[in-house]
């Protein structure tokens, strides 16, 4: 009887483990968020997706994503509170390029976190490796960020705010430059001449691996850390972008063979805590 009870409890625990974190809310179903949502739906997750556009609600519904209209400002979030009721909330909204909205970014994150408090069990902030300046060195999750761009500064401010508000419930994924469908890197410098810094290493990640890392995080339930999400391959800028242009039939750029400002983004947490193996080479 004791063995039966032990086996029953073990089975119940296995079932419980396999059903945790199965409801995911994705705030911002843009280029990355929508790709993540589709992959999660295919893995039998319940997915709630947000958009600020009334017209996009039908697109989400067609993909079997529960659609929610969510609008947010620095002051407040206007949304059905049920959107935030999830095992995991992904915040996938990069700062806007407009200077006024750019500076409001940390306050918007604050509004979102306030709306999600006590509703989302885990919160994942999609951030950027732009929190690290080009300081001619290798950086990882233990490196102190020193952003030198406006976007990098507001992203880091949002990260700091996030960790202050939810110290035990925060996970940050910092993406390197995102490439993949509809983001052909061959177009970036095609046909240009005298492009500087041609020998600097690139820091990129393909959409497939960006989504893969997010899903591995859910599978491993490895919350509460910061993850640098960047391909381990770092070819020189001139090599990568010349090959990318040629492979898509575009005019090859002309780079200056020099190595001025650069960085190499590495991760110690992705291999250690997620065990993720990159699928797409750079």
pLDDT per position in the chain (282 positions), as tens? 444 444 434 443 443 344 445 999 999 999 999 999 999 999 999 999 999 999 999 999 999 999 999 998 878 889 999 999 999 999 999 988 766 778 899 999 999 999 998 999 999 999 999 999 999 999 999 999 999 999 999 999 999 999 999 888 789 999 999 999 999 999 999 999 999 999 999 999 999 999 999 999 999 999 999 999 999 999 999 999 999 999 999 999 999 999 999 999 999 999 999 999 999 999
CATH topology of domain 16-182+204-234+266-274: Rossmann fold (3.40.50)
Q: How many CB atoms lie within 10 A of CB 224?
A: 14
Q: What is the pLDDT of residue 99?
A: 67
DSSP code, position 257: -
Render pLDDT for 197-226 as a digit per residue (tens, 0 to 9). Answer: 999 999 999 999 999 999 999 999 999 999
The set of residues, in sequence order, having a beta carbon less than 8 Å from that of 113 and lying 6+ positions away, is 123, 161, 162, 165, 166
Please report, for the chain, the start and end positions of each structural domain, with discontinuous segments joined by +: 16-182+204-234+266-274
Among 110, 90, 114, which residue's Cα sits nearest to residue 210? Answer: 90
Render pLDDT for 7-58 as a digit per residue (tens, 0 to 9). Answer: 434 443 443 344 445 999 999 999 999 999 999 999 999 999 999 999 999 9
Among 231, 201, 227, 212, which residue's Cα sits nearest to residue 276? Answer: 212
Q: Helices 207-220 and 31-42, interaxial angle, to 10°?
A: 50
Backbone angle region of 280, left / alpha / beta, with phi > 0 → left and psi within -120 to 50 → alpha: beta
Tokens of 165: 């508000």
Q: What is the pLDDT of residue 21?
A: 57
Rg (CA), the chain: 20
């Amino acid at each position: 009887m004791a063995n039966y009870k032990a086996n029953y409890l073990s089975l119940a625990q296995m079932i419980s483990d396999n059903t945790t974190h199965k409801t995911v809310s994705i705030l911002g179903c843009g280029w990355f968020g929508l790709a993540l949502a589709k992959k999660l739906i295919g893995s039998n997750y319940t997915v709630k997706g947000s958009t600020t556009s009334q017209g996009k609600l039908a697109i989400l519904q067609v993909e079997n994503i529960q659609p929610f209209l969510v609008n947010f400002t620095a002051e407040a979030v206007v949304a059905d509170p049920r959107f935030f009721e999830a095992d995991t909330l992904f915040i996938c909204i990069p700062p806007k390029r407009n200077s006024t909205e750019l500076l409001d970014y940390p306050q918007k994150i604050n509004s979102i976190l306030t709306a999600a408090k006590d509703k989302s069990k885990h919160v994942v902030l999609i951030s950027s490796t732009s929190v690290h300046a080009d300081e001619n060195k290798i950086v990882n999750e233990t490196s102190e960020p020193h952003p030198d761009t406006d976007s990098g500064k507001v992203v880091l401010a949002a990260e700091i705010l996030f960790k202050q508000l939810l110290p035990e419930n925060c996970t940050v994924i910092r993406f390197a430059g995102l490439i993949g469908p509809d983001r052909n890197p061959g177009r970036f410098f095609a046909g240009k001449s005298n492009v500087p810094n041609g020998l600097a290493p690139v820091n990129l990640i393909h959409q497939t691996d960006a989504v893969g890392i997010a899903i591995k995080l859910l599978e491993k339930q490895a919350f509460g850390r910061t993850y640098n999400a960047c391909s381990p391959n770092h070819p020189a800028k001139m090599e990568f972008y010349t090959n990318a242009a040629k492979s898509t039939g575009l005019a090859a750029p002309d780079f200056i063979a020099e190595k001025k400002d650069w960085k190499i983004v590495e991760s110690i947490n992705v291999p250690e805590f997620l065990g993720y193996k990159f699928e797409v080479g750079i």
